[in-house]
Amino acid sequence: MSALAPVLDRLDQSLDQSLGRLFDLLKVKSISTDPAYAAECRKGAEWLVADLKTIGFDASVRNTPGHPMVVAHHDGPAGSPHVLFYGHYDVQPVDPLELWDSDPFAPAIKEIGPDHKVITGRGSADDKGQLMTFVEACRAWKAVHGGLPCKITLLFEGEEESGSPSLKPFLEANAAELKADFAMVCDTGMWDRDTPAISTALRGLVGEEITIHAANRDLHSGEFGGAAANPIRILARILADIHDDTGRVTIPRFYDGVEETPSQVLKSWESLGETADDFLGPIGLSVPAGEKGRSVLELVWARPTAEFNGITGGYTGKGFKTVIAAQASAKVSFRLVHKQNPDKIRAAFRKFVEERLPADCSVEFHKHGGSPAIQLSYDSPFLTKAKQALSDEWPKPAVMIAMGGSIPIVGDFQTYLGMESLLVGFGLSDDRIHSPNEKYELSSFHKGQRSWARILDALTR
């Protein structure tokens, strides 16, 4: 008999108890962004440490200049891999409170359809419910086998929802303690209710704010129109130049480091059956706006972009003013993929702008963040094993997806600890994280625990 089967049985039998523990954690109002809840954040960390000790983890609350970290260690059999599991115990604020159907900190089970139950409450999906799936898997394994299948370090953060100010210094200061063979991060979602997913790529980001300066004051367009430089016209021309007619970015060397997605990966994305209408319909659109000839999933998962996030100049109030503005500005961001270099992209963009500037105008740049893309391997042994384990648990086989946005921790693990991450999570797109009436599928919580048990078993065999 395999080591796994009794663990899965144990998880099925102890679901009610595991829900009780999750509810205890969900009742803690660990809103990290609001200083009024600092004591609640600490309470969350302390609850976790106490709970992890009951499993046999060497767990401690670790102070930072902000909210504390929880770090816990458990040995595994000699020669087994060492895994770092990451989650966060802090939650988003709950306002507007009046839009909640019930108290966000009074978790409950709600039956929303035949055989369809959800756990309600702030943090149920993001991320307390998710992190507890892994803790429960460890607990059951320990109860059944008296130990864990591999060496496990847990890292639970209390500032993920408020910009993680203490995270990088903490990773740097405790690199030797936290370094493992790879990390597992449980803060992502499934493809759909039946289909588990592993996220293998996250886009990077470069933000730039540019301000074009022309005349030394606002001008009257009757007096000067036709002779004086108009910064809105200059800015519009620069922005318009950034894409060609096929949607490609024209900045020289922008695509340096961008790789074509392997055809088998593209095929697996195709097999998800997501059409442009599926993706764009809910937001009222229908025509993919990016590079022509690529699917919407490839566009948001594996292609870089230039987007204009804000623009302002001249008179923007009600009515009309025939002014030629002294300046105009725009916020521009680039989503990066693969090996695109944020610093080189920023420099290339600035050069591109400067080359298009009339001789009597000037430009001011403000830097807003820059991070490279994360591209995890599509075929590492542990990814292959995790994929099979997930496919064994759920109705449909696991798919490899990507994310258009970023999860900074994944880059930080690479940078500070030299570790790749496995991104597996059980959230659904309708979980309303960050919004009123957040929920987590009961099936996500239950089968999530079973999934981790299967993954741990697969990784160590």
307-366: which residues touch a second copy (CB under 8 A)?
307-316, 319-325, 328, 330-331, 333, 335, 358-361
Which of 24, 194, 223, 260 forms a contact with a second copy (CB under 8 A)? 223
Query: CB count, 10 Å around CB of 318?
Result: 5
Owner of token pair 């609001």: 34
Site string for a second copy, 428-447 (x = CB under 8 A): --------------------
**CB-based contacts of 109, cutoff 8 Å, min separation 6:** 19, 117, 118, 119, 120, 442
- Whole-number minimum distance, CB 135 to a second copy, in Å? 28
CB of 369: closest distance to a second copy in angstroms? 7
> Residue 96, preceding bond cis, omega within 30 degrees?
yes
**Piece of the chain touching a second copy by CB under 8 A; list 102-110, 219-227, 257-265, 448-456:** 219-227
Of the two residues 230 and 451, which places its CB atom closer to a second copy in the complex? 230
User: Residue holding tokens 């009515």?
Assistant: 319
Is residue 84 a contact partner of residue 157, using CB atoms and an 8 Å limit? no
Q: How far apart are CA 81 and CA 58, in angstroms?
A: 18
Task: Kindly give, in sequence order, each residue whose CB lies less than 8 Å from that of residue 323, ignoring residues fewer than 6 positions away.
Answer: 218, 219, 220, 221, 314, 315
Total residues interacting with a second copy, rule: CB under 8 A: 79
Binding window for a second copy (CB under 8 A); candidates: 12-20, 101-109, 240-248, 265-273: 240-248
Report DSSP letters for 361-374, one per residue: -EEEEEEEEEE--E
Q: How far is Cα 324 from Cα 220, in angstroms, rounded to an integer?
A: 6
Residue 250 within binding range of a second copy, rule CB under 8 A: no
Among 2, 217, 263, 293, contact with a second copy (rule: CB under 8 A): 217
* The only residue of 71, 235, 417, 455 in contact with a second copy, by rule CB under 8 A: 235
Q: By CB under 8 A, name the one of 275, 369, 377, 435 that touches a second copy.
A: 369
Relative to beta strand 204-213, strand 151-157 is: unpaired
Q: How far is C-alpha 249 from the geometric centre of its chain's CA atoms?
A: 25
Binding of residue 210 to a second copy (CB under 8 A): no
Indicate the burial class of 396 (C-beta count within 10 angstroms; 0-12, 13-18, 19 or more): middle
Site string for a second copy, 91-130 (x = CB under 8 A): ----------------------------------------
* Residue 126 CB-density burial (10 A; 0-12 exposed, 13-18 middle, 19+ buried): buried
- Say how far apart CA 83 and CA 198 lie, in whole Å: 17
Q: Which DSSP helix (H) or strand (E) runs through 171?
A: helix 167-173
Asked whether position 165 contacts a second copy by CB under 8 A, the answer is no
Which residues fall within 8 angstroms of residue 299, CB to CB, at 6 or more apart? 288, 290, 291, 305
Q: How far is the CB of 399 from a second copy (least distance, A)?
A: 18
CA distance 394 to 135: 20
**Enclosing H/E stretch for 201:** strand 197-202
| Alpha-carbon gap, residue 201 to 186, rounded angstroms | 15
Q: Which of 406, 421, 449, 460 contacts a second copy by CB under 8 A?
A: 406
Q: Which of 227, 263, 273, 418 binds a second copy (CB under 8 A)?
A: 227
Q: In angstroms, give the least distance from the CB of 64 to a second copy.
A: 23
Nearer to a second copy, 319 or 418 (CB): 319
Whichever of 325 and 453 has its CB closer to a second copy, that residue is: 325
Q: Which of 1, 36, 176, 240 binds a second copy (CB under 8 A)?
A: 240
Closer by beta carbon to a second copy, 146 or else 226: 226
In whole angstroms, the minimum distance from the beta carbon of 128 to a second copy comes to 22
User: Using the rule CB under 8 A, is 225 a contact of a second copy?
Assistant: yes
Name the one range near a second copy by CB under 8 A: 42-50, 85-93, 201-209, 439-447: 201-209
In terms of CB distance, is 73 or 368 closer to a second copy? 368
Q: Is 305 in the site for a second copy (CB under 8 A)?
A: yes
Compute the least distance from the CB of residue 318 to a second copy, in Å: 10
CB of 355: closest distance to a second copy in angstroms?
Answer: 14
Instruction: Indicate the pairing of strand 204-213 with strand 362-371.
Output: antiparallel
Q: Least CB distance from residue 292 to a second copy, whole Å?
A: 12
Q: Is residue 200 within 8 Å of residue 400, measured between CB atoms?
A: yes
Residue (221 or 380) nearer to a second copy, CB: 221
Token pair recorded at residue 130:
């998710």
Report the site for a second copy in 277-296 (rule: CB under 8 A): 279-280, 283-291, 296
405 binds a second copy (CB under 8 A): yes
Which residues are CB-neighbours of 35 under 8 A, at least 6 positions away?
none
Q: Of residues 403, 417, 423, 428, which one binds a second copy by CB under 8 A?
A: 403
Residue closer to a second copy (CB basis): 405 or 418 = 405
Specify which residues 86 forms β-bridges with. 155, 185
- What is the enclosing helix (H) or strand (E) of 140? helix 128-145
Closest CB 279 distance from a second copy, rounded Å: 6
